[in-house]
Amino acid sequence: MERNRSISSVRFIAMIFIVLSHLFQYYSSFPFLIFNIGVQLFFIISGILYGNKLVSNYKEWFKKRFKKVLIPYYLYVIISALALLIVNDYSVLKEIWKYLLILPGVFSSSIVLGNLWFVTIIVICYLMLPLLQRFDFSKNRAPVFYLKLLLVLLVLLVLEYITGLYKFTSNLFCFISAYYFTRRYTYFKLEAGLLLSIFKRFLIILTPLVFVYYIYYIPSNEGVSFLLLIPKYLAPFALGITLYNLLHYLFSDPKLPRAINRLLEKCVTYSDKYSYYIYLTHHLFILTNLSLMALTPYMPLNITLVIAAFLAYSYVLSLLTKKVTKLI
């Protein structure tokens, strides 16, 4: 897939947001809720990227995607589980079947490597892609399109109400919505500007409202009623898509100073190569028994050590992934 620098730049920012979110979470600090929107950005980016292309050979595509996602995932689980056992954290042994079956997304609130819930959901997004392509309603007239998208939302709402899997269904909605809006943008080239203009105006009005709801209400009122699930879905999606639009506009600006362009190019090149590995590894050194956040009395030094640790682990994990991939 050809690299789009503005999308790669948004991915880089999303990666930073997720790391910051977990750092603030360690200190039980309020901003972690704000930076947690980085996860929605990742799902929106994935939906946009696949909305811009059609997969014809599903077998080959699945093989490539699962190698890219699951080989580093399993390597990370094995290495991290062994490391946790060394520091006498035996709880990971009880959870190993959840990791092997790629089920962290179902048990994310009760497992040691809790950030791996993302892998469960992205695998489901990949499995859904043939279905999304087969039932592509992006070419329908606007009223029908929005009604069908609303139907998707209602189905996911019912699914969450029955199962309680909020992370599952809300992030699927981010992926599906971004996919169909992108398909519609691609198909209606003449209409795209108007569609996006209307959509952005809608988001400008909606985002401040859902932001207040998302930050102040949801954390203390999980799943209180079926109707309240609607803003619970719209909050991360609206915030994620609005932030994506703002960042995409900023990084697409041809007037960016040359020095910033050079720095950005280096950052996004690194991000494209290592962002998934960083997502996997950073949590281990912040929110588990291998945390380095209290290693010394000095917070800046601890955070520096954490960053150095997960960057080194990410690099090693990428090398191991290359070697294992060649053997398969």
Residue 195 pLDDT: 43
Residue 280 counted as domain residue = no
Closest Cα partner for 96 from 71, 75, 116, 78?
Answer: 78
Greater pLDDT, 97 or 166: 97
Mean per-residue pLDDT, 11-29: 88
Q: With a cut of 60, say whether residue 307 has pLDDT above it.
A: yes
Residue 262 counted as domain residue = yes
Give the span between the Cα atoms of 9 and 272, in whole angstroms. 9
Residue 321 counted as domain residue = no
- Considering its fold, how many domains does the chain have in total? 1
Residue 247 counted as domain residue = yes
Q: With a cut of 80, say whether residue 216 has pLDDT above it.
A: no
Residue 265 pLDDT: 77
Residue 214 counted as domain residue = yes
Q: Which residues contact 96 (CB under 8 A, 6 or more apart)?
A: 77, 81
Average pLDDT, the chain: 79
Residue 12 pLDDT: 86
Percent of the chain with pLDDT over 90: 26
SS3 for 311? helix
Mean per-residue pLDDT, 269-287: 91
Residue 97 counted as domain residue = yes
Task: Give the angle 215-217-219 at the CA atoms, nearest 5°.
Answer: 70
Residue 295 counted as domain residue = no
Residue 276 pLDDT: 93
In this predicted model, what pLDDT tens digit does every residue of 46-82 receive, in sequence order?
888 888 888 888 888 888 888 899 999 999 999 999 9
Residue 78 sits in which domain range?
5-267
Give the span between the Cα atoms of 142 and 184, in whole angstroms. 10
Q: With a cut of 80, say whether residue 226 has pLDDT above it.
A: no
Give the span between the Cα atoms of 19 and 201, in whole angstroms. 30
